[in-house]
């Protein structure tokens, strides 16, 4: 799902009525844990933040059923409920939260311009980018059907629910090897489904996989379907697909984990904000500052390592504090 799409701002601005231009001190783009936390802190600092949610209000957590590892919820909470709680908390302190999509930006001047839904320009003294990242999926219809019912893109988030059960991890890189090793400490058996005949992971991670007794690597296998009555009960694989020795393999599993990467939702900002080769926004270490003065990044859009709700929330706090200090220096 494309949450934020680039357009030609100079061409499109001619079609924007002057009445559709609004000026704010702090604009937050994105509504996951990072965006909502930034809104809470910015509101309490009297920055009167305006937050645009993007298409997926609440971010990736709205596709998660149970969240057991976020502090403050001793009995657990659903992802959508937790995001609603954060939203209400931000609104209680005065945050202006609106539904809308950032379709273009112009960070070339001291006043940052962001176009919303192709027809409204927000002029902001400071901008916090909290647009998150989108997990990559195989594109199977059954992945959507079993979302929250056995399909996950985060072993650290959901692995606990499969304690003592059999699961599968798809991927051949460091992330897949790391998630398989993590799940092996919880689950009875872990299948690592690898499309090629070798792992792309570092030698250290490969050695960990090989030395973990309850991980079985399925070389040259590709997942073509998932099956089950009320959730994932198994996966249909093809071994050596497209060759003379191609064969169908079925495995019984309770959980199916994708570990084939994430796409940071940063495309619309790339003409101004520096990113790495994958697209994660670069920030000054120990801060949320980007290469553009007054523009800050928080959450998964700048975090290729942890991608947890609690770390995203923490970076949202940092971004709001950094924005407050930046604005105080402008006076």
Using CB atoms within 10 Å of the CB of residue 314, give its burial: 0 to 12 exposed, 13 to 18 middle, 19+ buried.
middle
**CA distances from residue 181 to 42, 155, 159, 186 in whole angstroms, order as listed:** 39, 10, 11, 9
Q: Cβ neighbours of residue 63 under 8 Å, at least 6 residues apart?
A: 79, 147, 148
Contact 100, 15 (CB under 8 A): no
Catalytic residue flag (residue 26): no
Catalytic residue flag (residue 317): no
Catalytic residue flag (residue 158): yes
> Encoding tokens for residue 164?
């003592």
Q: What is the CB-side half-sphere exposure of residue 43 using CA atoms within 13 A?
A: 20
Contact 105, 115 (CB under 8 A): yes
> 158, 166, 300, 322: which one is catalytic?
158
> 157, 187, 317, 322: which one is catalytic?
157
Type and span of the H or E element at 95:
none
Query: DSSP secondary structure string, 20-71?
Result: GEEEEEEEEE--SHHHHHHHHHHHHTT---EEE--SSTTGGGGG-SEE-SST
User: Reduced to 3 states, what is the DSSP secondary structure of residue 169?
Assistant: strand
Q: Distance (Å, rounded) from C-alpha 73 to C-alpha 121?
A: 38
Q: Which of 280, 281, 224, 276 is nearest to 250 (CA)?
A: 224
Contact 225, 139 (CB under 8 A): no
> 8, 96, 106, 154: which one is catalytic?
154
Positions annotated as catalytic residues are 154, 157-158
């Amino acid at each position: 799902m494309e949450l934020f799409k680039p357009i030609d701002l100079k061409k499109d601005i001619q079609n924007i009525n002057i009445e559709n231009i609004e000026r704010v001190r702090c604009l937050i783009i994105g509504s996951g844990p990072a965006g909502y936390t930034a809104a809470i802190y910015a509101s309490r600092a009297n920055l009167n933040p305006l937050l645009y949610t993007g298409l997926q209000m609440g971010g990736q957590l709205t596709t998660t059923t149970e969240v057991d590892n976020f502090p403050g919820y001793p009995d657990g909470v659903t992802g959508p409920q937790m995001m609603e709680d954060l939203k209400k908390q931000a609104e209680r302190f005065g945050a202006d939260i609106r539904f809308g999509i950032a379709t273009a930006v112009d960070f070339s001047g001291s006043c940052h311009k962001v176009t919303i839904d192709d027809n409204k320009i927000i002029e902001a003294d400071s901008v916090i980018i909290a647009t998150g990242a989108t997990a990559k999926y195989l594109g199977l219809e059954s992945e959507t059907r079993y979302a929250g019912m056995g399909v996950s893109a985060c072993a650290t988030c959901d692995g606990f629910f499969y304690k003592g059960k059999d699961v599968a991890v798809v991927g051949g890189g460091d992330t897949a090897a790391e998630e398989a090793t993590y799940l092996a400490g919880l689950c009875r058996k872990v299948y690592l489904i690898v499309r090629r005949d070798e792992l792309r992971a570092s030698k250290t991670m490969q050695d960990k996989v090989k030395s973990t007794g309850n991980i079985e690597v399925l070389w040259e296998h590709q997942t073509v379907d998932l099956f089950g009555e009320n959730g994932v009960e198994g996966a249909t694989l093809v071994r050596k697909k497209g060759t003379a020795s191609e064969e169908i393999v079925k495995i019984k599993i309770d959980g199916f984990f994708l570990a084939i990467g994430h796409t940071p939702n940063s495309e619309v900002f790339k003409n101004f904000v520096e990113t790495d080769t994958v697209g994660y926004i670069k920030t000054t270490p120990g801060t949320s500052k980007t290469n553009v003065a007054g523009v800050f990044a928080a959450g998964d859009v700048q975090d290729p390592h942890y991608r947890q709700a609690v770390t995203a929330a923490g970076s949202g706090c940092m971004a709001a504090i950094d924005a407050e200090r930046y604005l105080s220096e402008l006076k």
